[in-house]
Every structure is written in structure tokens, then in C-alpha cells.
Structure 1
Amino acid sequence: MRALLLSDIHANKPALDAVLEHAHRDAARYSATYCLGDALGYGPHPREVLESLQDLRAQCVLGNHDLGLLQLVDGQRAAAVGTGTQVLVWQIGRLGQRDLRYVRGWKDVIEDAPLGARLRHGSPLSLNEYTDLDAARRSFREWGGSLAFVGHTHIPAAYATLQGTAGEWMRHQPITAAPGQPCTRYPVPPKARVILNPGSVGQPRDGDPRAAYGVYDSDLRTLDVFRVPYDIEHTQRDLRAADLPESLAVRLSAGL
């Protein structure tokens, strides 16, 4: 099975369009689509991104921004001062009840038998937890699976430990493409348990402003992380036209 992995789109439609155009060049590249959370937040195109995910029939998990938006709608969260919340409040005004029903249908975690993996936004254990070295060790101790896909950090990476260990020995490997190169392959080591992050479609934070997405091949046990240029200026213009914080536009050019 080959799976298309999208994460942290953050309402950036030009980035998502570029990723999908690139992925569709090879019709046999994937047979299922997964979104690892944070389709919403930060960007100027919330409804357009949700429509694209529905058209793809993507299986989606909730990200912290997606959940935060629903909590604001339901009065479970105060509209506190802050860039993230400011954008979510703005996005709520652009979404209809059909859009909200769609997001309400997303799960906190997907246990996928065909893919043989757990899918969650933050870590295998939590929607909100950033997967770093400590979180990965804790996940390997407390989660019994061998393959997980996460997002949240906006940085493509792999964490691996040996089967049968409690996670004391672990290797962290960034999955970064060389300048000008469109793809990096991570082969899952034999007899390893791994947590894989395909990076961010709409707001990369590894110093490479190109949109990132992944394709996982369960037969080959490989994750290909692709980097795709997109029309950053289009997204920046729309952010400014919506009078959203300038910092959100600036960071897209730097990939930070």
C-alpha cells in the first residue's frame, strides 16, 4: 500500500494545490490519503482547504488548531489574545455549518489496519504533544505499536528504536532534502519501531520554504518526503488582504 501523507496545511491553498499537482503526476504513487491534523489555523484559505480534503476523501485526524476552532465555536475556549486564536476567530467567520460538521467528524487518533500504523497529530500518545527526543522515548515505552505518523512540529523527521526495547536506545534523523533536490527517502530499518513526520504542507519550519508532503510505501517500508515550490506570494497577499498578522506572511518566505 502507498499512502499520501499531508500534515499542517494550515489553510494554505496554494501550497496544497502545488503538493497535489505534484503527487498526481504519478497516478500509481498512492492509494489512500491521510491528513495528520492542522488543516486549519494560520492561513487565509480555510474553506478552500476543507473542500480539497473532502474531494480527496482524505482520512483526517484533529490537530490542535482544528480542535481549538471547534472549542471556540462551542464556547469551550475563550477568544484570548494571541496570533493563533486571532486567526481561528477570523476563520470561523469564513466557514459554514457544513464545514464545521466535516471537521467534527475527524478523530483524535486513527488506527489503520491496511497501513499498519497509528496516526495522530502530536505524538502517538497525545494530540498536543510535540514529538521530540523525550516524547519519542516516552511514546516507545507507553505505546505498543511499531509504526506511527505524526505532524505538529512542521519538520520532517524520523525517530527509531529497536523492536523489543523500552525506548532507551533511539535514533533521531531529520529528513531534509539537499538544496535543489525534490525528495529524500527514509528506509525504515529492519526490526525497528518508528515515528515518522512528513513535515508541513502550508508552514514549513525547517528553513526550507517549499511545501512538504510524504508518501509511505508499506511494502517497501519507505517514506519519501517531497519538497515542492509553490506561490508563496499568493498566500502572503491573501494574508495581508485579510489583515491577519504580518508575521504569518513573513515566516512563509523563510520557512521558519
Structure 2
Amino acid sequence: MLAVTLQQDPPAGESSYIHDISITNLPIPKVEANHVLIKLQAASYNHRDEWIRQGLYPGIQVREKRWICQILLLRPNLAITPQAGSILGSDGVGIVVNDDNQLTGQRVIIYPSVGWEKDPRGPEGKFAILGLLPLPGTFAEYIAVPSVDVFPTPAHLTNAEAAALPLAGLTAWRATFTKAQVKSGDHVLITGIGKHLTGITKSRILGISFNGGGVALAALQFAVAAGANVYVTSSDESKIKRAIELGAKGGVNYKD
């Protein structure tokens, strides 16, 4: 199968990345017990993939060397070189193709992480996200994942729409409902509409702060669907206009 894999060296003539990528021919994954093999139909590109290529994603090690392990123990948030050979990609939608599973033939969405199953407060185990070894990634023709981590794709969503939902959607849901506990009638301010989550504060007026990507747009739509009065800020008038089209009550350009 073909897959997009992370390389150790930077791309030639490119200064913004410290890791190149390559289209690599790899064996189709073996299917372990209680796993499904998925032929991917669509995958989404997250800001996380950009950070990995830029060497900015925290707590990632490339080699099993004692000094790296010691550094990670002392400074667990330190950015370490991502592991070369990883298949990138956290989100994907595809068709289950292994013959011995009740999901065979179904179009499914892939849950993008491991170690966080039920507790709304945080991960129960060692938390990790698809797209870095030893976990597989979705930028490939096939992926094998636990059968408990796939869910039927809503029929009204295209492959591209469904593939863009999991990582951004789960982050937005947690920010909006688990943390901020938005409910009908609340007044919600989303700062930096069209950008991803950086922090949340809560009072009688709820503030959700973002700085890039699709998480803010998902949070906006979740809050509107819950009956909240949502307002946004941005430096881009087109983003404010789009937010109002999606249900925001209004917006402010913070450069005015």
C-alpha cells in the first residue's frame, strides 16, 4: 500500500519544516484479534501534522536512547524529534474490508486516539493519538485499528466531511460542554473564530479562546445547536461573516 511517511531529514530548499515526507510503499497491515482492517476513503490534515513536521509537537522521541528517556522524564513537554517512518494522519473514514468481522462492508469513522475511553475528566491510561509510531496513521491506503475505535459514518456526511470531524470535533465538544458546560441561553464569546483551542474561562458569560483551524467553527456550531447566544472575534471580516452565517449573533474585528 502507499502511505505518507515522516522522514528524518528536512526537505531540500524548504526552511519551514525540519522533517520531509515521502510517499512510501508499505505492506498492508496485519489484522490482530479484535481489530478491523479499513480501506481509507478520506483523511484530514490537522495542524498537529504541521507541528510534527516542524518539530514542535511535545513529548515525541525518535530513538531509544537513555539520554532522551531521561530528558522526557525530567521535561515531559519538551519537543523531541518525531519518529522517522511514522505514517502521518489522525483522522480518517473508510470501509471495513476484513472478512471475519460483523462490520465488514460498513463505512466507518476512526476514533483518533488511545488511552482515553470513558472518563470525561481526562485519559484513563497512557494517552496517544494516531499518526506517530508505534501507532498507525491515516495517510495511507489501509489502516488496522481496534474494532471498538470505529463508528458508523452518518449517512448525510460525505467522506471528506466525516474525515474532518473526529479530532477537531472531539476537542470542540470537550471545550464547549465538558469544560465550559454551555447550555441554552448562555452567552458565549469565541475569540479567534476559525482557529483551534488554546484555553477556556467560565463565568456567567463564557469565553472560549482559539488560535487556528476548524475547532472554533465546530464549537460555534455546537454552542448554537445547544441554544446559546454566540459572539465571535477575529481580525478577518470574512471569518466573522462566515460565523454569522453559521449562527453567531455577531462579531467584532479586534483590529478596528
TM-score of the superposition, structure 1-length normalised?
Answer: 0.25
Quick check: which has more Rg, 1 or 2?
2
TM-score of the superposition, structure 2-length normalised?
Answer: 0.25
Higher relative contact order (CA 8 A, sep 6+): 1
